[in-house]
Chains A and B, each alone.
Chain A
């Protein structure tokens, strides 16, 4: 069974979490960049359409849309501080969502599911760079172990579906994603959207920019539109059950301070920048190897970081009122 449309008619792709950061980016690529092929149907699902924590609602959605393929992005997500407080909720809700989607996909004979993991679920004590074979090699960081284990279990379920039924469901592992349509909530958001929102407010209110943490933590950032283009390639062409890291290379790893500088420049902020070292940095580094991606796509070009930041900041300013925050 291959992933092509021929054996099942044209692809009907269901995207769970379709209204989120990555879902919107995929929608943009499909609609604005001719990412879709003729006779393909793309359905972008949001939590308004179905609560995927419910097995019944999930099944109803599959019944209604009869997808041949699924891009599974839906999850309960949050930034560092929310994870630290609610490990049980992050564990349970995500296990339910993932089990419901993977099981419904199996029951409805979906040809391929591409789920979304993250480098933040990798072992805390590890050598660097991390690669796809290392996901389960040790416990994750204490701050988000509930979320991390729930995501890891997607890979376990994929492997078990392959072992017991021959299903080739797989997953991607992005590093830190950013872009338009993110969750820009300062308390619950991730580092870049949080920085963008805070810098916007600092500029507007004429106050200093307060950055949480020392600024020395290191991250590889991937622009949501680049990630979306790669997601489409994985859906169509990547045939392994083992997941694949989607990231810029190790040489493009930057510090939080570097990212803050790019945001300050993009928004033209001229006030003070203060690093609050009483706040946690989270994991100090999560350097991931993108060698597997480069083996498949040696020529893929990522959007330059500063350009991607500028586009995201411009979007945020233009859409401040409706942006999620």
Chain B
């Protein structure tokens, strides 16, 4: 496939975010190939909610491939308040990117879904065939439906034009360059920021929720390596779950303990059970990934958490928060 269009020109939307920065790092440190060009787009360069600005970005960069990460994202609480904005803005972003890719003859687009868009009422573990089998959790249905519609759009592009655009489904990601905002961030970066402050201020660590919710966490650098593999080798339109196995599912309390250890925090840890847990579990099956890549090694959790905590402490001033 490289042969027919010359070397790959890969446009990464959302390039300055958690996953985008991880891809940038792994491409620089060995995953990139000679003659390839990787362009990391951020919202400063183009507002992808606008069709005109998206078109301008495609005209400027003329990509052959796209990794589409850009989205309006937020943690549990922001989603609960703004379902309309999460629905509309993400539908516009996704339609603009997929439609421009199609118009500009992009060979392949790999978009980014999430296990949080799966049906709320379901059996476990969830797998790639189950995404549309029922309504998503009520807390983030705007975001969830917008993401699901990427898969609908991909299938329709394939049915009408033979395009093989696809998507990945990561579980909970974490790593350097995340959004560490406590109000709006996700569980891991929120915990990291709160523990850092608790240690600095000599106060207890307040964890929202009971700590009993279960998650599979994937380190951003591992996800990035898998993203590049999907771009190069994965040929299906149906999406693929990118995650550690079911055996590596952890409680939020396990994550808290790892962060506390990562910072050497010695104060009290309090669980505020008046705050929502969100979905209690979202166990995903990574059998499809393991069928393709039986030997892929994920970074051990405690090590990945330590690296992320160290990065946060070293980059506190400039970190997004």
Contacts and interface: CB of A to CB of B under 8 A. Distances in A.
Interface of A: 85-89, 91-92, 95, 99, 103, 136-139, 145-146, 149, 153, 156-157, 159-161, 163-165
Interface centre among B83, B84, B134, B160 (most CB of A within 10 A): B84
Contacts of A149: 149, 152
B162 to A, nearest CB: 11
B134 A165 contact: no
Nearest to A163: B83
B306 interface: no
B160 A87 contact: yes
B141 A99 contact: no
B142 interface: yes
A99 B135 CA distance: 20
Interface centre among A156, A164, A165 (most CB of B within 10 A): A156
Nearest to B142: A160
B99 interface: yes
Q: Which 9 A-B pairs have the closest CB atoms?
A: A160-B84, A88-B156, A160-B83, A87-B156, A88-B160, A164-B84, A139-B132, A136-B135, A146-B156
Contacts of B145: 153, 156
Contacts of B81: 164
A95 B91 contact: yes
B134 A91 contact: no
Given A138-B132, A138-B134, A88 B153 contact: yes
B156 A156 contact: no
12 contacts: A87-B156, A88-B161, A91-B153, A92-B95, A137-B134, A139-B132, A139-B133, A146-B156, A157-B84, A159-B141, A161-B84, A163-B83
Interface centre among B95, B152, B159 (most CB of A within 10 A): B152
Nearest to B134: A137
A161 B99 CA distance: 26
Q: Interface of chain A, helix or strand or loop or mixed?
A: helix
Contacts of B95: 92, 95
Contacts of A86: 160
Interface of B: 81-85, 87-88, 91, 95, 99, 132-135, 141-142, 145, 149, 152-153, 155-157, 159-161
B253 to A, nearest CB: 31
A103 B159 CA distance: 29
B87 A160 contact: yes
B157 to A, nearest CB: 6
Nearest to A138: B133
A133 B142 CA distance: 18
B84 A85 contact: no
Contacts of B134: 136-138
Given A92-B95, A156-B145, A164-B83, 4 more contacts: A85-B160, A87-B160, A146-B156, A153-B149
A93 to B, nearest CB: 11
Interface centre among B85, B156, B161 (most CB of A within 10 A): B156
Nearest to A139: B132
A99 B88 contact: yes
A208 B132 CA distance: 43
A145 B156 contact: yes
Nearest to A152: B145
Nearest to B133: A138
Contacts of A99: 88, 91
B147 to A, nearest CB: 12
Given A86-B160, A87-B155, A87-B156, A164 B135 contact: no
A165 B81 CA distance: 10
A156 to B, nearest CB: 5
Contacts of A138: 132-134
Nearest to A87: B156
A157 B99 contact: no
Contact of B84 (A136, A137, A146, A163): A163
B152 A146 contact: yes
A92 B153 CA distance: 8
Contacts of A153: 87, 91, 145, 149
A157 B159 CA distance: 26
B206 to A, nearest CB: 27
Contacts of B132: 138-139
Nearest to B82: A164
A156 B141 contact: yes
B152 A165 contact: no
A130 to B, nearest CB: 14
B141 A145 contact: no
A136 B133 CA distance: 8
A88 B159 contact: yes
Contacts of A85: 160
B276 to A, nearest CB: 15
Contact of A91 (B82, B87, B133, B152): B152
A161 B84 CA distance: 6
A159 B8 CA distance: 42
A184 B64 CA distance: 44
B135 A137 contact: yes
Contacts of B85: 164
B89 to A, nearest CB: 11
Contacts of A92: 95, 99, 153
A159 B142 CA distance: 9
B161 A165 contact: no
A203 to B, nearest CB: 37
Contact of A88 (B82, B133, B157): B157
Contact of B87 (A87, A146, A156, A165): A156
A157 B91 CA distance: 11
Contact of B83 (A88, A89, A136, A159): A159
